[in-house]
Chains A and B, each alone.
Chain A
Amino acid sequence: MIRVNDLYFAYTQNQPIFQTFDWQVEKGDAWTILGPSGCGKSTLLYLIAGLLPSQRNQLLVNGQPVLRPRPKSGLIIQDYGLLPWATVRDNIALGLKIRRLYGPDGTHAPMESDVDMWAVETWLERLGLGEQANKYPGQISGGQRQRCAIARTLVLNPDLLLMDEPFASLDAPTRENLQNLMIDLWQQQHLTMLTITHSIEEAVFLGKKILLLHEPPNKQAEIFENPTYSFENARANSEYLKICQLIRKKMML
């Protein structure tokens, strides 16, 4: 689904974040990207999201170069990105309204898309936001805001879901709750899911495969397979903890 070939990217000249970097993501995979601050994990995600410019053919999603945000990619960010002046319901409907504004033109919305506003109600219920529907983002909790952002993205039926430290500012119970939810949604919606995190535990919980990045320049992808992914009660599993330990050691190197 995603092909990264010989990627070069630098914000300032001669200080590349990525150099000769290769990486591949298969359809339906769940990846986490882990690394210290400034390692380029957000940069990689924003390149894939089409929010940063990449060189032609260095980055392909479904065989197409990513020159602008792709209609079938969804992005979820740490501080939710909700419109403060719109209710929860209107925030969830935002993407659909944008699609209605442009029509199915292939650039802003998929060619085959029809705008179904009822889907908003379905997602409101599905993410437990029914009672919050008419409230504003300022009136609900952080966890509810992130649920709202997730609903807003998934109502557009993406095939690729990109998450940039989505739960970093939430308390532990809310965070674990949403992590469980994401695994369920990944299975139910047949998503390809990429999650950026700086938390090892989150990386091992949400990633079937884990990409470890280091201080730039990143020249080679360091990849871990995670056999404990989607184990029942994985957080208490000794295998899970062992993998966390292993990755912690690798990060120290």
Chain B
Amino acid sequence: MKPRTAIFSLLVIIIFWELLARIVNLAILPSPWEVSQAFVREMGKDLPLHFLASFWRVLSSTVLAIVLAAPLGMMLGQSKKLDRIFAPFIYWLYPIPKVVLLPIVVLFLGIGDVSKIFMIFLILFFQILVLVRDQASAIRPELIQSVRSLGAGRKALFRFVYLPASIPGVLTALRQSVGTAVAVLYVAELFATQKGLGYYIYLKGSNLFDYPAMYAGVVAMSILGFGLYAAVDWLEKRLSPWRYA
């Protein structure tokens, strides 16, 4: 998308919001102007702290999911034998909406960062696993043979074939699941915690009735989601230019 189109559509959204706020005329729907004032004010207080807490949870779970799921997906995609063993388990586990496991995860892993990171990890893990596996199984044996004939052993195959071949799968998986991850993060942060945007939004809205501040939290969460999406987009263009050529 061109920057000009992006800015234009953002303006349309803000104008629509402004109109809606005027028509509704209730405290629970402040105008964009009020919210942006609140946002600036809250940025000087504890909003950045909550933002960073949420950002850290998403980032660490993403890295963890990539590091564990991508190599496993590669292995399953390349070994029919392994895939035959694991495919039935993935078949059962992949479609489960992971967010329903949240209470169980909290019971087992406690209310700290670990349970939240694990939740997002679960979602991303299966997504990446399945996409990388499918992409790995599409690598033609002829390609492997011909790279082997150039002298490649395991190490070189990993470096020059498997690693670059798994990148598109990882990025597609992230693109598809970053939104879900942030949504689940919100839900996860409603559970006994005092840090994170989910907690912040809940606190400002339901306990303190400071609606502009609550909206500032929503904006911060949107920025988080949008920022992650944009980062994946950027990485995709950087790391797989051949798909856009």
Contact residues of A with B, CB < 8 Å? 46, 49-51, 69, 71, 73-87, 94-95, 97-99, 101-102, 107-109, 135-136, 138-139, 149, 152-153, 156, 162
CB distance from B147 to the nearest CB of A (A): 7
B187 within 8 A of A: no
Of B142, B146, B159, B164, the residue contacting A101 (CB under 8 A) is: B159
- CB-nearest residue of chain B relative to A78? B142
Q: Which residues of B contact A152 (CB under 8 A)?
A: 150
Name the contact of A81 in the complex, choosing from B143, B159, B167 (C-beta under 8 A): B143
With CB as the reference atom, state the residue of chain A lying closest to B161: A83
Total interface residues in chain B, CB < 8 Å: 23
- Whether A79 lies near B142 (C-beta < 8 A) is yes
**A69-B151, A71-B151 given; A102·B146 CB < 8 A:** no
CA distance A38 to B242 in the complex (A): 36
Within 8 A of A (CB), among B219-245: 240, 242, 245
Say yes or no: is B156 at the interface (Cβ < 8 Å to chain A): yes
Interface residues of B (CB under 8 A from A): 140, 142-143, 145-153, 155-156, 159-161, 164-165, 167, 240, 242, 245
Within the complex, which residue of A74, A102, A135 is in contact with B153, where a contact is CB–CB below 8 Å? A102
Q: How far is the CA of A201 from the CA of B148 in the complex (A)?
A: 30
- B164 in contact with A83 (CB, 8 Å): yes
**How far apart are B192's CB and chain A's nearest CB, in angstroms?**
46
How far, in Å, is B200 (CB) from chain A's closest CB?
42
- 8 Å CB contact of B149 from A69, A80, A107, A135: A69
Whether the Cβ atoms of A139 and B245 lie closer than 8 Å is yes
Determine if A84 and B242 form an interchain contact, defined as CB atoms under 8 angstroms apart.
yes
Q: Do most interface residues of chain B lie in helix, strand or loop, or is the interface mixed? A: helix
With A83-B143, A83-B161 known as contacts, the answer to whether A138 contacts B150 (CB < 8 A) is no
Chain B residues with CB under 8 Å of A50's CB are 149
Which A residues are CB-close (under 8 A) to B164?
Answer: 83, 85-86
A157 to chain B, nearest CB (A): 12
Tell me whether A109 and B151 are in contact (CB under 8 A): yes
Cβ of B150 to closest chain A Cβ, rounded Å: 4
Q: How far is the CA of A101 from the CA of B153 in the complex (A)?
A: 10
- Leading 4 A-B pairs by shortest Cβ distance: A81-B146, A75-B149, A95-B150, A108-B151
Asked whether A49 lies within 8 Å of B165 as measured between CB atoms, the reply is no
Selected A-B contacts with CB under 8 Å, 5 pairs: A69-B151, A81-B145, A101-B155, A102-B153, A108-B153
B243 to A: closest C-beta gap in Å: 8
- Which residues of the other chain, B, contact A138 by a CB distance below 8 angstroms? 242, 245
Q: Are A77 and B142 in contact, CB atoms less than 8 angstroms apart?
A: yes
Q: Please give the distance in Å from A87's CB to the nearest CB on chain B.
A: 8
Contact call B165/A85, Cβ cutoff below 8 A: yes
Given A83-B143, A136-B242, decide whether A69 and B160 contact each other with a Cβ distance below 8 A.
no
User: Whole-angstrom distance between the alpha carbons of A76 and B143 in the complex?
Assistant: 11
What is the CB-to-nearest-CB distance from A137 to chain B, in angstroms, rounded to a whole number? Answer: 8
Chain A residues within an 8 Å CB radius of B165: 85
Report how far A135 CA is from B241 CA in the complex, Å: 11
Q: Which of A73, A84, A97, A156 contacts B160 (CB 8 A)?
A: A97
For A139, the chain B residues whose CB sits under 8 A away are 245
Q: Given known contacts A78-B142, A108-B152, A135-B245, what 17 new A-B pairs fall within 8 Å (CB)?
A: A69-B148, A69-B149, A69-B150, A79-B142, A80-B146, A83-B143, A85-B167, A85-B242, A95-B150, A97-B160, A99-B151, A102-B153, A136-B242, A136-B245, A139-B245, A152-B150, A156-B151
Closest CB in chain B relative to A68 CB, distance in Å = 8
Q: In the complex, which residues of chain B have a beta carbon less than 8 angstroms from the beta carbon of A99?
A: 151
Which residues on the A side are within 8 Å of B143 (C-beta)? 81-83
Question: In the bound complex, how far is the Cα of B164 from the Cα of A139, in angstroms?
Answer: 19
Closest Cβ–Cβ distance, residue B175 to chain A (whole Å): 18
**Nearest Cβ on chain B to A80's Cβ, whole angstroms:** 8
Which chain A residues border B152 with CB–CB below 8 Å? 98, 108
Query: Which residues in B have their C-beta under 8 angstroms from that of A109?
Result: 151
* Contact residue among A51, A97, A136 (Cβ-Cβ distance under 8 Å from B145): A51
Partner of A94 from B142, B153, B160 at Cβ < 8 Å: B160
Whole-angstrom distance between the Cβ of A103 and the nearest chain B Cβ? 11
- Alpha-carbon gap, A99 to B167, bound state (A): 24
Set of chain B residues within 8 Å of A95, measured between Cβ atoms: 150-151
Contact of A73 among B149, B161, B167, B242 (CB under 8 A): B149
